Every structure is written in C-alpha cells, then in structure tokens.
Amino acid sequence: MSEPATLVVGPSWVGDMVMAQSMLKVLKQRHPEQAVDVLAPGWSLPLLERMPEVRAGIEMTLGHGRLGLGRRWRLGRSLTGRYDRAILLPNSWKSAIVPWAAGIPRRTGWRGEMRYGLVNDLRVLDRSALTMTVQRFVALAVDSSEPLPEIPPPLLEVRQADVQAALEVHGLEKSGREVLALCPGAEYGPAKRWLEANFGELAQKYRNRGWEVWLFGSEKDRKVCDNIAALATGCRNLAGRTTLAEAVDLLSLADAVVSNDSGLMHVAAALERSLVAIYGSSDPGFTPPLNERHAILYRNLACSPCFKRECPLGHLQCMKEITVSEVEDALKGME
C-alpha cells in the first residue's frame, strides 16, 4: 500500500450524499494525510467532484436495491491493497461486501442486517443520542470512545467555467435580475410535496416583482414542474432537462430557493443559498438543512411526522396548512 487511504461507501440518496460531506470533512480534519475515495452510485459522482475532501469517486454500477453478489465481489477484489480503512454509511448487508472482499483491515459501520464479520469495527447506534442522519454519519469518522465532534456543514464548490457552460447550454442569463429557484419535487413521495398551486402562485408573485423563476427537478418531476410553469408566466422549467451537475451549478446562482425536503434542498443548503424548506411527512429534526441561511416551515401536527410516501389519512393537512404568504414572509426575512 503506497499511502494510507480510506474508502467510504456512500449512500444512495442525493440528500444523504450531501450530508455525508460533513463526515468527510471531519475525517480530513482528523487525518489530513489520508486520501479519501468514495464508492457511490454513478449519478452521485458530480456531487463528489464538488467536494474537495474526495480524491476520487468510484462508481458502484449496481442500481439501488440490486444484490449482484458476484459483481460486488469482483469490484472488491479489484480494490485489494489500496485502503487501510473503510467506513460504511449504509446499514445494509450488501454494502459491506466490497470492503470485505477488498480485504480492508478496518471496516467501520453501524450494526445492521447481520453484518458480523463483514464489518469488524461494528458500532451500536444509540438513536436517542444521535437523532440526526448527519450525526450518525459523523460518528463513524471518529473512534467509538470519542464524543461526537462539532459538525461542519456541507459546502459544495462549483467552478465558474462549469456555471457559465450550464447557462449557455440552457440558454439562461444571470444579468442583474434576481433568481428564485423552486424545487417542487420529492422522489420519496407526494406526502413530502407542497401543493403545485401554491408553488405556481408563489412563482407568479415573484415574476410580478421582476424576478427570474427557475424550476428544478429530475425527469420524474417534469410533469409537476410543467403544471407549475403553466400557472405562472415566464418561468424556466429545467426539470428533467439538466444533468445533476448542471442543476448544482445553476442552483449556485439562485438568490433564494424554496424546496420540499428533498435532495435538492440539501444541495441548495450546501451552496449557501437563502433557503425556505417545507416539511410535511418528514421530520426537520432528523434531516434539516445544514446551512445557517434557511427557514423551516413545518406544522408538527398530531399525525406528524408519519414518514409515509402518501398521506395515510388522505387529507395532507401538513402541507395544505402552509400558505403562500408564510413562504413569502420567510423569503423576505432573508432578503
């Protein structure tokens, strides 16, 4: 082994990958001489490229939920001798196969799915002490006997050349006018989505004030964003039209962002944008934005948080009760 290096097995969601940067920062603070590579899904590589703590991203070609034991074994064997430590952020059994097959001496992770032997630095999670996802990630970067260190917020770094290229590809300009970015999707399910009509009303109000309004999302969010764009004149609907890299670079230009609890919400926070985060079925105490420039809108009803993909009671009051005026006030409070 030519130099000490750590392999981090990354998570499979955009928001979790962004929050994982806090753990990477702590790891580099403790061991600045240690190179860090991240094994992660291919879609996440643009995020890793914007994290200066990461030497290289290694693509896990298997899709989310696929076992692929033979492929995981072969990938692990190809990494033999390159790392002296592995940190596993997912709790699944299959996520431990590559580090084990690579023969990495120390393999750190939380106990889960009978990983005895595959994970030899096995930690027992105290959920009452580590209530946030980011805390659980960061705790794996230090010895089990150590207290949880101060958590540095994620901070994605974009290059101006990439930003300019994204503007040109999509025929956009950032010239004087302020930009409101709307992220109305949430891959987890509709119980995490503020109403389309509300996003449309908010967009029109800001268009009337002379702002540019850009809509962001994946291909799965295209229909939702089409509906919102139909409610407000002059919005630019980028959902399903940008790569993740382009979305990150263009979001870095936003003067304000309104987002559901989603991966793009965490991206906006890590770009230090002024952010209004809207929570419905999920818990802002578990996965909050980690920058200082944000406001959280959350009703905390008796049925909240239910963590369901769809409202189990059928009324979606946790979202319906959050008004356009409240979001406007929160935005104005950060201007």
Domain parsing of the chain, residue ranges: 5-139, 160-332
Q: Which of 166, 246, 43 is nearest to 18 (CA)?
A: 43
Q: What are the CB-based long-range contacts (under 8 Å, 24+) for 273-280?
A: 273/181, 274/331, 274/334, 274/335, 276/327, 276/330, 276/331, 276/334, 278/194, 278/319, 278/322, 278/327, 279/192, 279/305, 279/318, 280/191, 280/192, 280/193, 280/194, 280/304, 280/316, 280/318, 280/319
pLDDT mean over 136-144 = 97
pLDDT band at 69 (very low <50, low <70, confident <90, very high): confident
To the nearest 10 degrees (0 to 180), the angle between helices 244-251 and 263-270 is 50
Omega before 305 cis (within 30°)?
A: yes
Strand partners, 57: 38
Q: Note the pTM of the prediction, 2 decimals.
A: 0.94
pLDDT, mean of residues 320-333: 96
- List residues bridging with 327 in a β-sheet: none
Distance CA 159, CA 147 (A): 36
Q: How far apart are CA 18 and CA 225, in angstroms?
A: 23
> How many H-runs (helices) and E-runs (strands) does the chain carry?
12, 12
Question: Which residue(s) pair with 258 in the sheet?
Answer: 182, 276
State yes or no: pLDDT of 64 exceeds 60: no
| Residues ≥6 apart with Cβ < 8 Å to 329 | none
CB 88 within 8 A of CB 106: no
- The token duo for 7 is 């392999």
Percentage of the chain surpassing pLDDT 70?
98
Q: Token pair for residue 105?
A: 């001496």
Structure tokens at 137: 């990630």
Same fold, 5-139 and 160-332: yes
Split at pLDDT 50, 70, 90, the class of 22 is very high
Fold (CATH) for 5-139: Rossmann fold (3.40.50)
Strand runs (DSSP E) across 13-84, as ranges?
Answer: 35-41, 56-60
Contact assessment for residue 109 and residue 123, using Cβ atoms and an 8 Å cutoff = yes
Mean pLDDT value across residues 236-240: 97
Q: How far apart are CA 106 and CA 84, in angstroms?
A: 7
Strand boundaries in 105-155, DSSP class E: 106-110, 121-123
% of the chain residues with pLDDT over 90: 89
- The band of 66, judged by pLDDT with boundaries at 50, 70 and 90, is low
Which band of pLDDT confidence, cut at 50, 70 and 90, is reported for residue 228? very high
pLDDT exceeds cutoff 70 at 65: no
Residue 63 is predicted with a pLDDT of: 60
Cα separation of 8 and 96, whole Å? Answer: 11
Report the pLDDT value the prediction gives residue 320, as an integer from 0 to 100: 95
114 pLDDT exceeds 70?
yes
In one-letter notation, the amino acid at residue 14 is V
What are the structure tokens assigned to 329, written together? 């006030």
Average pLDDT, the chain: 94
pLDDT band at 189 (very low <50, low <70, confident <90, very high): confident
Cα–Cα distance for residue pair 304/312, rounded to 1 Å: 11
Q: Which pLDDT does position 190 carry in this prediction?
A: 87
Full DSSP string of 176-201: SS-EEEEE---TT-GGG---HHHHHH
What's domain 160-332's architecture?
A: 3-Layer(aba) Sandwich (3.40)
Q: Assign 145 a pLDDT band (cuts: 50, 70, 90).
A: very high
Q: Which of 59-73, 114-128, 185-199, 292-306 has the lowest mean pLDDT?
A: 59-73
- 151-160 mean pLDDT: 97
